[in-house]
Structure 1
């Protein structure tokens, strides 16, 4: 079993795009420096000053590269500490090192949080070598020695747990985006298929009544029919794999004009009110469907997560360039509404971005939750 675990760990890739140094890293270095200076002043029995300074530097400096170069940071830190302890053993030096070197636990965490699998295996081997050497340099009881190993094992396990949790989080977000893309593809398919089917029917009718017309008109109608039929077949082939059912409904998707549907069945709280204003005619079918779906998802979130909400207002305003959607509720948002644990907002953000718009969701200044989306009248996104 251990062999299998090591084999899986060895093949583990590094997480993508680890964060670089931040102000918190510099703050940690500053705190450790002050801690080390204070301890050096207050403690009486210490190893020679050059060894103490080298040990502190070996722990503090690599912390700045613990995310981008976790194995290098561990090798520099624990390799130097092993060298310092070896010198202490060979020279018979009295006195110990500063307790601030316990910050090396952060490097063990970072190794399993940000390093590749083989880096984690190699780096932890370096840590185990140092633990064996330092127990000789500073003899301790068996319980203390086991405790030291346990601390580093816990730090490594914590790093691995955070790593896999972050990966699961990213996978869930990607799945939410994929589901939203599939929904958009289905809506676009149904909308375009509806219109293309109409083109094909009109072209067939044109052929039937154009028997006495010039031959070029008949050829043009044949071309229209063939092109429309081929486009429909190709589109069905392209997005057919996205459908749970093989039967496609060739009907337009809901749009802005259908938002009143969302107010039905609202005798129970919260009550939904829809207000439409401005230029909302001739919207791109994809944009109209997006406005409807964003409003529908926002109302669903309010009913599920807004505590004590009595009212949800949906306002859609259009002008010559954009359509703006604002959905407000007067409830107290729970942690699931708009929090990091939910993926409804991820899908809404993805849908808006794909259509070239902007999206924002968050609590209002006084009470409630607001969703705002601005979309171009015509689909200009990716």
Structure 2
């Protein structure tokens, strides 16, 4: 059975306050006060009734956190009777101070102000109605100052508690926001890596598939040609492994110089001749045309242009059909890079919505995302004279 620690602590506190209050109530009777030269006119001697009223005034302390205002009201009743019956203010006011502090600590400002006003009114009423008179106005002022000070201490604790709760809540919100940002960054990185892996794997596997099919057809009739096709497959596979190793390398947490040295530069427009030659070996006659004066390109645009050509040629290899040819055109301009991949084959299949595009998969999505990332304009579809084309125009800032 679980024990409510706060209720247990309040019960112990109530017993402690009651014990102290009863002891002081009995010790500081009229005889003791008179011996010390204090006025005791009309004060009643301690008796069983007085002790009972003191204990009753301290009992509500046991529920001061659960029902602070009700406990204060219940405690003020026997305290008022103590004053009215002539026992004087006594030390029963100790429980009243604890209960006033509790209301100020655990309730809102309006209720706390009401509790302070109630305590002041109750004290004044008991002092006026009882037979015991204070030595002067300074005694009333001291009591009022003590009540206000206790109330202020309770409010200060409540405000500090609220401030700490706000700090905890803010820290929790920041932690959630940080976790959300981390998840978003991870998702974005996974998407980027997925696009890179698709571009590499789809291209090289397509080339290897076409070469393997050609080797199978000529294996019996022309072993030498089949051997060349198998060598091309081996070379393409090694290239695919190298590029995949470079991409996966970014996932490593080791930041040492030798780990970074394993990562080669990303492919770009400068590597298009090798890509075109690879497509020729795979069985797709391909020409590369360069217009304008080549200039250094931003790394992101350079990689995006290469991936676009790679994806376009891969789809031409897949869907253009036998006898088709492809032309890659790269036009350099002062403010724009124009990249086109066109073939004269049968083109890609038409989508249900009626829009001609690349076959479904990561390829089209990856191209669109890459071009959009750098503010480019992408057009994909059939050509007027037959065939299929992919074109992207990347804007360049300040001639770069």
Q: What band does the TM-score fall into relative to the shorter chain?
A: 0.3 to 0.5
Give TM-score, length-normalised by structure 2: 0.43
Q: Which has the higher contact order (CA 8 A, sep 6+)?
A: 1
Give TM-score, length-normalised by structure 1: 0.44
Give the number of the structure whose alpha-carbon radius of gyration is greater: 2
